[in-house]
Amino acid sequence: MGNTSSERAAMGHGEKAQRRDSRGIKEGERPKILMDSPEDADIFHGEDMKAPLGKEEFLAWQQDLEADDKGLAVDRPTVFRWTGDGKEVYLSGSFNNWANKIPLIRSQNTFVAIVDLPEGEHQYKFYVDGQWTHDPKEPVVTSQLGTVNNIIQVKKTDFEVFDALMVDSQKSSDVSDLSSSPPGPYHQDAYVPKQDEKFKSPPILPPHLLQVILNKDTGISCDPALLPEPNHVMLNHLYALSIKDGVMVLSATHRYKKKYVTTLLYKPI
């Protein structure tokens, strides 16, 4: 009998063991996580979780992020101007590690250079006629070596207007959204006028063009060397009289300022 009770106890403990794990959590029940508990570390060491990064791996990951950020950085066109005296002016700075001198172009009384710089602070200096100098009108800073250099801050906000204009120009140059030609066949056939479109006779002459000099008789009171002032609608037209005695008369009136000139052409037929 004693063995039987022991077996029952063992069986009972076995069933409880199947229902609970070593920490007293029922099967299918989510464990409660205590943020300050030392058991939290065991939860993140399961098969589905990756082990936390080591120090070297974390530094490598951080360097990759910084490299990606640098790759996405956009150089901004920055204007450098020297307004002092000099015949030859050059520029150098921390943006090129002071390795070479960039020549400035003379524009009237100033020297100008445009350099693409990344965003951030940059120190620079001018090389004028063989002497290193800084511009006292611009902000200055003292370097670690004790030299005085000019400093410039390249910020993204200074170029927001130019970025917006660039986006607008790209949108305006994009013709993908423009509508295409209307559907349907296209031909290159010559236009053939219809019969009813043809005039059987010349169009009727407007009445204001009938008052021309060729159709008028010169009054007795007028000076025969002077003609009456014509109407402006009669200018720059070619008129012709009916053929008489085998002669055709052509006429044209032109104006120069306040003077009018009428030319008659007699042509035998």
Which tens digits make up the pLDDT trace of 146-198? 889 999 988 877 666 556 666 666 655 555 555 567 777 877 888 777 776 66
Pairwise CA distance, residues 248 & 250, whole Å:
7
Structure-token pair, residue 14: 């076995």
**Distance of CA 214 to CAs 28, 74, 217, 255, Å?**
118, 79, 8, 17
Whether 16 has a pLDDT exceeding 50, the answer reads no
Q: Is residue 217 part of a domain?
A: yes
At 155, which CATH number? 2.60.40.10
Pairwise CA distance, residues 20 & 34, whole Å:
19
User: Residue 166 half-sphere exposure, CB side, CA atoms within 13 Å?
Assistant: 5
Domain boundary among 99, 133, 159: 159
Mean pLDDT of all residues in 11-40: 46
Q: Is residue 47 part of a domain?
A: no
- Of 193, 195, 257, 264, residue with least CA distance to 227: 264
Extract the runs of DSSP E, i.e. beta strands, from the chain.
76-82, 89-93, 102-103, 105-107, 110-117, 120-128, 131-133, 140-142, 148-154, 238-240, 247-256, 259-268
Q: Is residue 260 part of a domain?
A: yes
Mean pLDDT of all residues in 232-245: 84
pLDDT at 50: 47
- Of 156, 148, 69, residue with least CA distance to 117: 156
Query: For the chain, what is the domain count?
Result: 2
**Residue 229 belongs to what domain range?**
207-268
Pairwise CA distance, residues 241 & 248, whole Å:
7
Q: Is residue 41 part of a domain?
A: no
Q: Is residue 5 part of a domain?
A: no
> In this structure, are 155 and 86 located in the same domain?
yes
pLDDT at 58: 66
Q: Is residue 146 part of a domain?
A: yes
pLDDT at 90: 95
Pairwise CA distance, residues 61 & 234, whole Å:
89
**Order of strands across the sheet with 247-256?**
238-240, 247-256, 259-268
Q: Is residue 20 part of a domain?
A: no
pLDDT at 133: 93
pLDDT at 163: 60
Which tens digits make up the pLDDT trace of 27-84? 555 544 444 444 444 444 444 444 455 667 767 766 666 655 554 567 888 889 999 8
Pairwise CA distance, residues 156 & 163, whole Å:
10
At 259, which CATH number? 2.20.25.290
Q: Is residue 231 part of a domain?
A: yes
Mean pLDDT of the chain: 72
Which tens digits make up the pLDDT trace of 111-143? 999 899 888 899 999 999 999 999 999 999 988
